[in-house]
Structure 1
Amino acid sequence: MSRILAFVLFVSFSVTGWAVSAEVQDKAVQEKEPDVKIEKEQVLERVNALEKPLYTPFIERYVLDEIKQLRVDLGAQKAELIQQIVDRQINSIDRGVTYATDTVTYFFYLIAAASSILVVVGWNSIRDIKDRVHSLADEEIAKLVKEYEGRLSHIEKQLTQKTRHIRQNKEEIELTQEIQSLWLRAGQENNHQNKILVYDQILKLKPGDCEALTYKADAVLEIGEPQWAANLCRQALSIDSHNSHAFYQLACSYTALGLYDEAIQYLGEALKQSDSYKAYLMSDEALKPLYDHEEFQKLTA
């Protein structure tokens, strides 16, 4: 009763302290609110004045390495937790078997004493009683062994499954790291032929990558192969029918082929999926032949 009373008092004091601290924090926030607004305006002015992005491929690589290390640590933690659970279950099994063995032994001693008394009285012989006790003990032990064998088999299956998951996660991390390095390499390449080779390597590791297909179409369009680029964009749309980048690259490809109506149609689809492409319409050289087209002017308006 005293423990319960102490726990209730502790909870009440904790709630009261939390409420007081919350009121103090609210007052502090209200007092600092003008300073915070000024700092936000200063940060917005600095962000609007930026001329290039704050991130670099090296930061992306660092973040990827951190994510990989986090997943490796998580896998190790899972394996350690499973090992602890297995050790505890094995200890429980050992205690259970020991308890069963001791119980059977004491039961045997009790029957032996009772059988001795019965022999003196004139009933069955000690040998018959001993055989009977051994048979009963063997049956009980066989039941216990069979039950714990089933439990150990189940534990072994769980460990095998966890090991398989850890191996799959490791392979996925390695594949992601390799693909990320290829993307960094493609971003650093100035030769469009080399970019196409890098994108082919990415598609070999991860077939059906829509992003790799659309960027490859962009590089193919740069070397003067609009039909090839259009085929790549159609392949990407067959995988993801709402890929805005694929629609945009398809519009550029049809513009290079001279099919202006189809180009404007696909350009409209790209703008439906993402309004961010409006900023590139008047600056993209691939769309320059469409500037005098009436439908294109409607899109830009």
Structure 2
Amino acid sequence: MRQDSAFKRAFILLLIVLLPLLVAAGIQAQTLPEDGARESGAKQAEDTVARLDAPLYSAFTERYILDELKALRVDMAAQRVEFIQQITDRQIEAVDRSVSYATNTVSNFFYIIAAVSSVLVIVGWTSIREMKEKMGTLADKELRKLIGAYEDRLREIEQQLREKSTYIDENREAIERTKEIHALWLRAAQESAPANKIAVYDQILALNPRDCEALTYKADAALESNEPQWAINLCQSALQLDASNAHAFYQLACAHAALSHFDDAINFLTKALINGDARLDDFAKDPALQPLHHLPAFEQLLLDAHQTKGEHA
């Protein structure tokens, strides 16, 4: 409707603009010969327009033309908006159709999948159940095997860690005990009274009952306390732990000399010499062996000790 109105207005406006020009051209053509009009029609029309003394259109006509032009522009703008609206509506309609098509396609696809799944469930339910049970049994078996292997490895690692922890604890306790025993030996070396030495040696033996050296030094302290029989018992205990302990034999010789058991004293001195007690180089100067100095056996033993020393030198 708007398009027809716009065309009508444009046609009327064109007639209004061209009609005066056509009239002026016709009047001029009547005054010229026919052959001249054909040759210079356009040029004469231009000259006629240029020689006009008054406006070609009246104010009313110009106003009408301007109004028509304005209305024509408004109609053209409205027509453009209408065209754009129609194009937009068509695009939206096309998009709606595409979305509807895609939605229907996806829905149909899922319907097909659901139908196929239903058929499979109805037809092969037993087979699927058996397959599921077999897969579950196999998976459970493999998992148990894997768990068992890891449990064995963890148990082995735990045992190794426990053994190492025990070994570390034992070493730590041994180190602490060794430090304590060493401190007690230093303390015993600083003590001068035999009773105090015996007390320190008892502490050492409490920490290490199989310490032969502590037993023999305790026997030495017992001899200093005038307890030769006690010293003999201590040396016998040391020899039970170490049958070739030369220091124990030497202390036995000193104890038997104190008890006037000279033969036993010479016998134990000989064993001490055989087992290589370094103190036998100076045993002639030991006051504990003073009762043996008048015995020929002691002199012979002393001579043998000097000969042995010379041979080693």
TM-score over 0.5 (shorter chain): yes
SS at match of 2:216: helix
Paired letter, 2:148: K
- Tell me by how many angstroms 1:255 deviates: 1.0
Deviations 1:85-109 (A, max 9, x none): xxxxxxxxxxxxxxxxxxxxxxxxx
1:226 matched to 2:196: no
Letter paired with 1:262? D
**Alignment correspondent of 1:171:** 173
Residue matched to 1:283: 285
1:285 partner amino acid: P
Runs of 4+ in 1 over 4 A off after TM superposition: 121-128
**Structure 1 residues 140 and 264, CA gap change in structure 2 (3 angstroms):** same
Query: Do the aligned partners of 2:246 and 2:277 also contact (CA within 8 Å) in 1?
Result: no
Equivalents in 2 of 1:142, 1:172: separation in Å? 44
2:257 corresponds to: 255
Contact 2:231 2:252 in 1 (8 A): yes
Residue 218 of structure 2: aligned partner? 216
How far residue 128 of structure 1 moved from its aligned partner, in angstroms, is 4.5
Cα 1:125–1:225 change in 2 (3 A) is closer
> Contact 1:247–1:269 (CA<8 Å) still a contact in 2?
yes
Corresponding residue number in structure 2 for 1:138 = 140
Distance 1:127 1:179, change over 3 A: same
| 122 and 261 in structure 1: CA distance in 2 versus 1, 3 angstrom threshold | closer
Structure 1 residues 122, 162: CA separation in 2 closer, same or farther (over 3 Å shift)? closer
Q: Which residue number corresponds to residue 182 of structure 2?
A: 180
Matches within 5 A, 1:34-113: none
Deviation at 1:137, TM superposition (A): 2.5
- Asked if the contact 2:273/2:280 (under 8 Å) is kept, the reply is yes
Question: How far apart in 2 are the matches of 1:259 and 1:191?
Answer: 27
Larger mean CA deviation between 139-148 and 189-198 belongs to 139-148
Residues 1-40 of structure 1 mapped to structure 2, 5 A cutoff = none
Amino acid at match of 1:230: I
Alignment-mate amino acid for residue 254 of structure 2: C
2:247·2:277 contact (CA, 8 Å) conserved in 1?
no
SS of equivalent to 1:258: coil
The TM-score, its normalising length taken from structure 2, stands at 0.54
Over 3 Å counting, the alpha-carbon distance change for 1:135 and 1:233 in structure 2 is closer
Aligned to 1:205: 207
Shift of 1:257: 1.1
* Identity, % of aligned positions: 54
Partner of 1:147: 149
Does 1:292 pair with 2:294? yes
For residue 307 of structure 2, what is the aligned residue in structure 1? none
Find the aligned partners of 2:256 and 2:168 in 1 and give their Cα distance: 47
Q: Residue type of the partner of 1:250?
A: L
Change in 2 beyond 3 A, CA 1:296/1:180:
same
User: Using the alignment, how far apart are the partners of 2:160 and 2:171 within structure 1?
Assistant: 17
User: 1:230 is paired with a residue of what secondary structure?
Assistant: helix
C-alpha displacement of 1:172: 1.3
Aligned letter for 1:231?
Answer: N
Secondary structure of the 2:213 match is: helix
Compare 197-206 and 231-240 and name the one that shifted more: 231-240
Q: CA deviation at 1:124?
A: 6.7
- Change in CA separation of 1:154 and 1:187 when aligned onto 2, cut-off 3 Å: same
Unaligned runs of 5+ in 2: 1-119, 304-313
1:154 to 1:275, Cα distance in 2 relative to 1, 3 A: closer
Q: Distance in 2 between matches of 1:125 and 1:293?
A: 111
Q: Tell me the TM-score normalized by structure 1.
A: 0.56
Is residue 271–residue 277 contact of structure 1 (8 Å, CA) maintained in 2?
no
Task: Give the one of 151, 155, 158 matched to 1:156.
Answer: 158
| Alignment check: 8 A CA contact 1:220 1:226 kept | yes
Supply the AA of the counterpart residue of 2:166.
R
For residues 200 and 161 of structure 2, what CA distance do their matches in structure 1 show?
39
Matched, 1:268 2:243: no
Question: Do structure 1's residue 238 and structure 2's residue 240 form an aligned pair?
Answer: yes
**Deviation per residue, 1:178-222 (Å, 9 max, x gap):** 111111110111111100110111111111321111101111111
User: Would the alpha carbon gap of residues 143 and 285 (structure 1) be closer, same or farther in structure 2, given more than 3 Å must change?
Assistant: same
Change (3 A) 1:139 1:293: same
CA change 1:217–1:148 in 2 (3 A) is same
